Structures are given as structure tokens and as C-alpha cells.
Amino acid sequence: MEIITVELLDRQYTITIGDGAWDQALACAEMYDKVFLITDENVAGLYGSQFSYPQYVMTPGEEGKTMETALAILDEMVRHSLTRNSLVLALGGGVVGDVAGFCGSVYMRGIDYVQIPTTLLAQVDSSIGGKTGVNTVYGKNLIGTFHQPQGVYIDPAVLNTLPKKEVVNGLGEVIKYGIIGDPDFFEYLKNHLHELLELKPQVVFDVLCQCCSIKAQIVAEDEKDQGERKILNFGHTIGHALEAVTEYKGYTHGEAVLIGMLYEARLANALGLLPGYGYEEIREVLETFDLNWSIQHLPEEAIFHVMMQDKKNCDGQISFILPIQPGQVQEMLLTPEQMRRWWRRIVS
Ligand SMILES: NC(=O)c1ccc[n+]([C@@H]2O[C@H](COP(=O)([O-])OP(=O)(O)OC[C@H]3O[C@@H](n4cnc5c(N)ncnc54)[C@H](O)[C@@H]3O)[C@@H](O)[C@H]2O)c1
Ligand SMILES: [Zn+2]
């Protein structure tokens, strides 16, 4: 069992990783007067019987991540007479975690919640750091709050029931941590990627520990996303644009991030930030994944349009987090004109 601490400005919480982590979540839940579980149909079918609390079961997937769902959940919380001393348990992937965290943050102006993430993406990324939210018809995560959980409890064994596509979805963020955070971890990933894809238990455990401690450290340095946390955006400037121009049907988020990282590494290389051998190392790891890497066929202007709307932009310039070597990144701002010029070079 590994325990990683997330240091916040006014308190701390822990991420517990390993066999038996869920028992600890249950022990934590005993300290509250009432517990309300939020999950989705798939996860409820597989693991719901391990929890005997009143619950709300969401429709699985991104479509359920709406204000309507949040309102229905909040109504149920009122109906079950949850108090300020009650706890919300989020059992599921990033969708469940984001919606449950949001409901926890607004119910009676905020009650405690605990994350029990069951997808690889949620275990390495979304369950840590306290960003909650729902989508609107105008865009993803437009309504949300910062509300840090009381704890994160990760049982790696639940990844064995995850569809392969969802494993790859999470691996996009895992590779990202190797490139933004730690040259030794990048080296480790290079050597163990196939075992990771096969979910070899020791490799999965080591990778979860590494990713969670990198994310914990970044969150500690920048709890409210005003600086350092930006580096988590590597691969996402282009990745988000690919998702948006294909109306979120062309790629999973992780696939779009994997492809985004390849082209952003290429951009770093073209700009002279990343040497050729560093680019080749990154490319080799990324191309282990069997994806359609070509993006030349996608509408260029629509891609630029999405990139220009990015929240992270500054003074009309597009923000890119670019690698200068595997394990180290820096921010680079490009004007739309500069972007247009470089784009042709990097996509051809
Ligand atoms: N809060 C943050 O900091 C943050 C960071 C990254 C992503 N996100 C959000 O996370 C969401 C994506 O999360 P996700 O990729 O986990 O998707 P998801 O929650 O939709 O889960 C993917 C699918 O896997 C199923 N599933 C979950 N656990 C399973 C298991 N153990 N076995 C079998 N099936 C299982 C789910 O029912 C669902 O169908 C997005 O909405 C994104 O905005 C939030
Ligand atoms: Zn992401």
C-alpha cells in the first residue's frame, strides 16, 4: 500500500493506492453521520454491491455530465436528509468524480466528499486536485468549482474490468506525466509500456504511484490553477482542438492527447526548443499506440479557431506547453499568425 500526501494551503489529504484501499475509504466514511454514494450504471453493476449506502446511479458517459443530473442528485441528497456532517462518495470514472465533487461543493454550501476512482484516467488525474464540474451545450466543464476531496482511495485491481479503449484513454495522461514531470519516469515508461498495456500488476502499481505523486506535487504548488498547473496542459492545446472539430466523436480524450503530444513535440522541435533525439524518443513512445496519427485531413481554420478560444491563452496569443527534453517542459506563446505558419510545417 502506498500513501501520497497532497499538501493544500490550509490542510492536507492522502491518496491511498493498493489492495485494500477501499476498506480504508469505508473506514473513513464511518466518521460521518450519513453517506451518499454517486456512481454510474456500469460501475454499479460491477462494484456497487460492495457499498450499502443510499445512492444515485448516473447514466454512464459524458452525456450524463450535465446540470440536470447534478440537480437530480442534489434533490436526492435533500430527500435523504444529508447534513453538513454527511459525506459524498464518488465511485467511478472522471465523469462521476466531477459531478459528485460538484454536488458535494454546493450542497449546503459544501460538504465533504471522497474519491474512489475506477478508471485509469480518474486514478491518475481527475480524482486528484479538486476540480469539479458539468458540461453545458456551449462547452465542456463550463460550470464548476474547486472543491478538494477528503481523500482518494485507489484499488488498482478494478482496472481489469476496464475496456481496452479506456485503458488507452488513461495512458494518454500517464505518458504526459513522463514527458512533463520526470526523465526517470519517462525512461521507465519507455521500458515498460507493453507490460502496462497488459496491466501487469506491479507495473500498474508503480505507474499509479508515480503519476499520483507528480499530480499531487503540481496541485500543491498551484491549488487554484494560476500558474504551475498549466504544465498539465501539454498535448491538450492541439488535443482539445482535435476533439472539438470532430465533435467529440472522432477521438477519446486520451487519443486526442496522445496525438496532440506528438504534434506539440514536433512544434517544439521545429521551434528549436527540443533537439531531434529528444523528439525521436517521444515519438517512439507515442507511436507504440495504434492510432491514426494523420491530422492533415481535419479543417485547419476550425482547429485554429478552437485553439484561439483556449482558457489558458494570454493577450491573444496561444499557450503551448512544449517539451525541451523528455521530462521537462516550458510554456511558449504563439500569435495566431505564427501558429498558422508553423502549422503547415508540423502537420505535413
Ligand atoms: N477534474 C479534473 O481535474 C479532470 C481531469 C481530467 C478529466 N476530467 C474529466 O473526466 C471525464 C472523463 O473521465 P473518464 O475517462 O474516467 O470517463 P468516464 O467516467 O466516462 O468512464 C469511462 C467509462 O468507463 C466505465 N467504467 C468506469 N470504471 C470502470 C471499471 N472499473 N470497469 C469497467 N468500466 C468502468 C464508465 O462507466 C464509462 O462508461 C471527463 O468528463 C473530463 O472532463 C476531469
Ligand atoms: Zn486530459
139-161 pLDDT per residue, tens: 889 999 999 999 999 999 999 99
CA distance 124 to 340: 34
Render pLDDT for 257-269 as a digit per residue (tens, 0 to 9).
999 999 999 999 9
What residues contact residue 204 under an 8 Å CB cut-off, 6+ apart?
156, 159, 196
Residues 6 or more apart whose CB falls under 8 angstroms from that of 51 comprise: 26, 37, 89, 91
pLDDT at 243: 94
Cα–Cα distance, 140 to 63 (Å, whole number) = 11
pLDDT in tens, 229-272: 999 999 999 999 999 999 999 999 999 999 999 999 999 999 99
Predicted local confidence at residue 258, as pLDDT: 98
With a Cβ cut-off of 6 Å, ligand 1 is lined by 40, 42-43, 46, 60-62, 65, 92-96, 98, 118-119, 121-122, 125-126, 129, 131, 140-141, 158, 161-162, 166, 169
Using alpha carbons, list the distances in angstroms from residue 46 to 41, 172, 279, 325: 9, 25, 41, 41
Give the end-to-end CA distance of the chain in Å, rounded to a whole number. 47
Q: Where are the beta strands (DSSP E) in 279-334?
A: 318-325, 328-334
Q: For residue 129, which atom of ligand 1 is closest to its CA?
A: 3
pLDDT band at 313 (very low <50, low <70, confident <90, very high): confident
What's the pLDDT at 338?
Answer: 93
Which residue is associated with the grid cell 497488459? 198
Helix then strand then coil, in percent of the chain rounded to 5, is: 55, 20, 30
Q: Given pLDDT bands bounded at 50, 70 and 90, which one contains residue 172?
A: very high
Q: Where in the chain is the domain with CATH 3.40.50.1970?
A: 2-162
As a whole number of angstroms, the distance between CA 308 and CA 317 comes to 8
**Cα–Cα distance for residue pair 160/167, rounded to 1 Å:** 9
- Check whether 138 has a pLDDT greater than 90: no
| pLDDT single digits (tens) 52-101 | 999 999 999 999 999 999 999 999 999 999 999 999 999 999 999 999 99
- Please identify, in words, the CATH class of the domain defined by 2-162: alpha beta
Would the pLDDT of 131 be above 90?
A: yes
pLDDT for 32-48, tens place per residue? 999 999 999 999 999 99
Half-sphere exposure of 297 (CA within 13 A, CB side): 5
Q: Which ligand is nearest to the CA of 256?
A: 2
Percent of the chain with pLDDT over 90: 92
Specify whether the CB–CB gap between 316 and 336 falls below 8 A. yes
Give residue-wise pLDDT tens across range 284-308: 999 999 999 999 999 999 999 999 9
- Give this prediction's pTM: 0.96
Predicted confidence at residue 71, as pLDDT, reads 98
Residue range(s) in the chain whose domain bears CATH number 1.20.1090.10? 164-348
Ligand 1, atom 6, lies closest to the CA of 126
Q: Is the pLDDT of residue 277 over 90?
A: yes
User: Could you tell which of 98, 141, 224, 234 is best to mutate to test the pocket of ligand 1, judged by most ligand atoms within 8 Å of the CB?
Assistant: 98
pLDDT of residue 46: 98
Tell me if the domain spanning 164-348 has CATH number 1.20.1090.10.
Answer: yes
Average per-residue pLDDT in the chain?
96
- The number of residues in the chain equals 348
| Residue in this structure with the C-alpha cell 500500500, named with its chain if needed | 1
Residue 276: how many CB atoms within 10 A of its CB? 8
Protein residue with its CA nearest to atom 10 in ligand 1: 94
SS3 261: helix
User: What pLDDT score was predicted for residue 53?
Assistant: 98
| 189-227: pLDDT as tens digits | 999 999 999 999 999 999 999 999 999 999 999 999 888
C-alpha of residue 121 to centroid of ligand 1, in Å = 6
- Is residue 158 within 8 Å of 121, Cβ to Cβ? no
Nearest to 42 by CA among 64, 20, 74: 64
Question: What is the C-alpha to C-alpha distance for residues 183 and 164, in angstroms, rounded to an integer?
Answer: 27
Cβ–Cβ under 8 Å, residues 17 and 229 = no
Concatenated DSSP letters for 89-137? EEEESHHHHHHHHHHHHHGGG--EEEEEE-SHHIIIIITSS-B--EEET
The ligand with the least distance to the CA atom of 43 is 1
